[in-house]
Structure 1
Amino acid sequence: MQWLNMALFRSRLMQVSLLTNACLIAYLSLEQFFVHESCSQIFTLSPSHHHWNEANSGIQLPRNTAPYYFEQTEFSQQVSRPRDDTTVNSNKVQIKQEVTEHLHASGISNGAPDPPPLSLEKKMFPDFRGCASRPSLPIQSQHGEYWILENYIPADLSFRCDESITYTTHGDYTHLDNIETITSRWQGPVSIGLYAPGGDFNITTSSIMYLRDCRTESIRKYVTFHLIYHTDHIPEKIPTTEELMGQKMNCSVDPPNWMNVTSYRRQKGLVYPINVARNVARRMATTYFVFPSDIELYPSVNFIPEFLEMLKKPDVSNTTQPRVYVFPIFEVEESSLPPKTKEELIKMLDSKHAIPFHERVCKPCHNIPHSEEWRVATVKPGLSVLNVSRREGAFKHWEPFYVGTHREPLHDERLSWEGKSNKMTQAYILCVRGYEFHILDNAFLVHRPGIKKYHRYDASREAIVAKQTRLLKGHILPEYKVLFGTKSECVL
């Protein structure tokens, strides 16, 4: 029987030794520390008793084990006593994890169940509910070579920063026929930067006012317009916001002609400052979450309420890496209506009336990881993350569209639409910062009807592309390596 007692004692002694080390780590490493309940067992033992506490009574300890135990003296009382909050140092979380690992290694538990996982909101976006809302005030600002009329024509409705998600986009007046479809699907704030140099300014404002007064009410309710023009191409007259808002359009006349027109920009051969317009639209968004997109990409329906509901659910991922939420993108035949739900989209994919975006132009640019898994996944109510990927390997040239926050980098404004690769700089920064791309299961974008194909060779544009490529590789990339660092898997 004596040998059995000794075997049990040695096993328990090893556990207690591990636990003691864990508690000492906590005490010596922190000014204040929440001591695990199991630690208190260590300090109730006395070498004079030669017995365990109540939980371990019946097993005698030899006298030479005394050095392993402590009287419950001032030292042990200090371990259990909390200190002033102001003395907590940055090692608290790390030490707490180390103590937990020691406890697990020892096989000792305090008997309490593991706490439930934090919600996605509390884990990844703890400042969401405390964000600061701001008004959309009309402001004129100069930005490099451009004048910007911020919040020039504001939406009728305003939203708290934690109340919705802003769809941010860009274009010129020839793209405004897309706004009605976007707003009817999005049902939330839309912020759009419009390039309107010289003679394009007047037709841009008249087109906006026509849309507000004569088309769907959602445009007036949700869309805020910001106008941009080059300092060398100032409009002849710029009405104030009050003057424009006081006008009333005659809806019985024909709408402005947006299609098959030669704009002032094209007449003058001006490049389209796509990233200036993108950044203006995003900076002016007043909500915490933003969705930077292109004006010819239409979102699936019911996204905003489903995403906000997803934030309340437990986050089961085991990382706290920065992350964004990706929309797969598709395109449909010109004669087809864009699908609104995933069920409709899958039917069109099966019948070959829809294909992945840019499949015939630049498949690596927008093909999502695990695309077949996304396609065959069972459609369930609500929204969730189907899988998590990174911009590396076969997807190192990926240009995803995603919901994020104002913490994500803006776009490089030295790049134009004509020069191509204008989203690659932002994607590079996300890659070197270790961003995760969480692909949503039931959300998607669909391009304005019409399958993209290669355009015939355009010598003038190819010259712009070559110049911008030299800028990217020869100047911007070395600059970004210094500013943001490098990773072997991250490319520009």
Structure 2
Amino acid sequence: MKRAAICLLVFLIMFCVYNYYQISIRTSKDGKVITTSRAIPTTTYRKKFCIAFNVTKASKSFREEGLEPITLATHSTSQYLNILDQQLQSWDSPVSLALYIDRDSSGALQYVLDLHRCDRSTAEKLSVHVVYQLSAFQNKCQPLQAVEQPIPCANFTQQYRKKYLNSLVPPFGIYPINVMRNVARRGAPSTFHFISDVEMVF
């Protein structure tokens, strides 16, 4: 009985360490480890989630003539990022996106970083806030490591985007919808918010 408990404990520790490092680094297909480019500060929410605000930040204020814009506060996983382009085209004000990831869907972070870097309209509108679950045996969140693997913008075509998004695995587990809505609102760059699920295109 004692031996089984020790084996289980060792397994859980190894699983947690693996889970933690999958957020921090990613391995390419040829086996080379790609190191991180920058550490993004995170906050712990309800002792269960880690939140990195403004992983990308909208470059335009949309405050023409001193008027306060209405920010579209929305949320998503990697599974619905294909709808994000439609949202950005139809909404002519800031967009605050709370993105839920886990170790299997952390490639979604690379996608939004590339999208923000390569698309001027996206860079003007989109602020992204990343949410992921706090690993077991951790009592506080570590900085989120943004992976450096930029693609040349000339290659960041619609065909590439579609193929890349199709390769991402949605996060496993229960989706914390209320947490995601609150993060999108809190990260919004304006006082007024229009809260919506990402599938609802206006």
Band of TM-score, shorter chain: 0.5 to 0.7
Q: Show CA shifts across 1:135-189 (max 9, x none).
A: xxx7521101001001121122235584311000001122111121111111110
Residues 314-329 of structure 1: matches in 2 within 5 Å?
A: none
- Does structure 1 residue 180 correspond to structure 2 residue 85? yes
Residues 421-436 of structure 1: matches in 2 within 5 Å?
A: none
Number of the residue aligned with 1:259: 166
The amino acid that maps onto 2:98 is G
Q: Distance in 2 between matches of 1:168 and 1:294?
A: 8
Q: Higher relative CO (CA 8 A, sep ≥ 6), structure 1 or 2?
A: 2
Number of the residue aligned with 1:164: 69
Number of the residue aligned with 1:366: none
- Does structure 1 residue 208 correspond to structure 2 residue 112? yes
Q: Distance in 1 between matches of 2:168 and 2:54?
A: 27
Residues 63-212 of structure 1: matches in 2 within 5 Å?
A: 139-144=41-46, 145-160=48-63, 162-201=67-106, 203-212=107-116
How many residues end up aligned between the 2 structures?
152
The amino acid that maps onto 1:190 is V
RMSD (Å) for aligned C-alpha atoms: 2.9
Q: Distance in 1 between matches of 2:150 and 2:169?
A: 27
Deviation of 1:257 after TM superposition, in Å, equals 2.5
Q: Work out whether residues 178 and 296 of structure 1, in 8 Å CA contact, stay in contact via their aligned partners in 2.
A: yes
Deviation of 1:259 after TM superposition, in Å, equals 3.1
Equivalent of 1:220 in 118, 123, 126: 123
Residues 20-419 of structure 1: matches in 2 within 5 Å?
A: 139-144=41-46, 145-160=48-63, 162-201=67-106, 203-215=107-119, 217-232=120-135, 238-239=144-145, 248-251=150-153, 252=155, 254-255=160-161, 257-259=164-166, 262-263=169-170, 265-266=171-172, 270-299=173-202
Q: Distance in 1 between matches of 2:150 and 2:164?
A: 19
Q: Show CA shifts across 1:318-373 (max 9, x none).
A: xxxxxxxxxxxxxxxxxxxxxxxxxxxxxxxxxxxxxxxxxxxxxxxxxxxxxxxx
What is the SS of the residue equivalent to 2:114? Answer: helix
Number of the residue aligned with 1:327: none
Q: Show CA shifts across 1:264-294 (max 9, x none).
A: x23xxx1111111111001121322110011
The amino acid that maps onto 2:81 is L
Pair 1:232–1:167, CA change in 2 (3 A): same
The amino acid that maps onto 2:145 is P
Q: Distance in 1 between matches of 2:59 and 2:151?
A: 17
Q: Work out whether residues 159 and 286 of structure 1, in 8 Å CA contact, stay in contact via their aligned partners in 2.
A: no
Q: Distance in 2 between matches of 1:237 and 1:287?
A: 25
Q: Distance in 2 between matches of 1:282 and 1:206?
A: 23
Q: Distance in 2 between matches of 1:199 and 1:236?
A: 18
Q: Work out whether residues 41 and 144 of structure 2, in 8 Å CA contact, stay in contact via their aligned partners in 1.
A: no
| More strand as a share of residues | 2
Work out which of the two has the higher radius of gyration on C-alpha atoms and give 1 or 2: 1
Q: Distance in 2 between matches of 1:170 and 1:219?
A: 16
Percent pairwise identity: 28
The amino acid that maps onto 1:185 is S
Q: Work out whether residues 168 and 278 of structure 1, in 8 Å CA contact, stay in contact via their aligned partners in 2.
A: yes
Deviation of 1:190 after TM superposition, in Å, equals 0.3
Pair 1:237–1:279, CA change in 2 (3 A): closer
What is the SS of the residue equivalent to 1:150? Answer: strand
The amino acid that maps onto 2:51 is I
Q: Distance in 1 between matches of 2:53 and 2:193?
A: 17
Number of the residue aligned with 2:7: none
What is the SS of the residue equivalent to 2:128? Answer: strand
Pair 1:209–1:249, CA change in 2 (3 A): farther
Structure 1 stretches of at least 4 aligned residues deviating more than 6 Å after TM superposition: 233-237
Deviation of 1:228 after TM superposition, in Å, equals 0.5
Q: Distance in 1 between matches of 2:180 and 2:41?
A: 15
